[in-house]
Amino acid sequence: MNLFPNSPIKMDYTPATDILYVEYPDLDSALLPVIKNSFTILVEAIVNYDVKRLLLDASRTHVSISEEENRDISIQLATALAKTRLQKVARIQPLDPVLENKAQNNISRIHQKGVLTYELRTFSSNQEAVKWLQS
């Protein structure tokens, strides 16, 4: 079921597996307010549907914001997700190894802050991620 079809973030929820699939948006400075609002909508959907499993697909994400902005938005999203009943978050890594390295640095910072209340793992394929989410 396509949640919020007019949102810049594609969100598809499958109730049978309780997996919410989200295409992580391109990060552009001009769109940051819209993206932050979309993340609020994402968190509200997770709460409203009581989602326990989230699949974040960053494989095609382009980033054109500063590392600091990227880190801040990642920490804000992780903190907001921690206030839900999520149990597992699977992340599909970007195809660009430089972007993935930056993402892993952000994930390390998130772990250091101790905000995670859910399991977070990174995968190179959708199939691996879904298999783990369903385990």
Q: What is the 3-state secondary structure (H, E, C) of the chain?
A: CEECCCCCCCEEEECCCCEEEEECCCEEHHHHHHHHHHHHHHHHHHHHCCCCEEEEECCCCCEECCHHHHHHHHHHHHHHHHCCCCCEEEEECCCCHHHHHHHHHHHHHHHHHCCCCCEEEEECCHHHHHHHHHC
Full set of structural domains in the chain with CATH: 2-134 (3.30.750.24)
**pTM of this structure:** 0.92
**Tens of pLDDT, residues 74-129:** 999 999 999 999 999 999 999 999 999 999 999 999 999 899 999 999 999 999 99
**Tens of pLDDT, residues 58-70:** 999 989 999 999 9
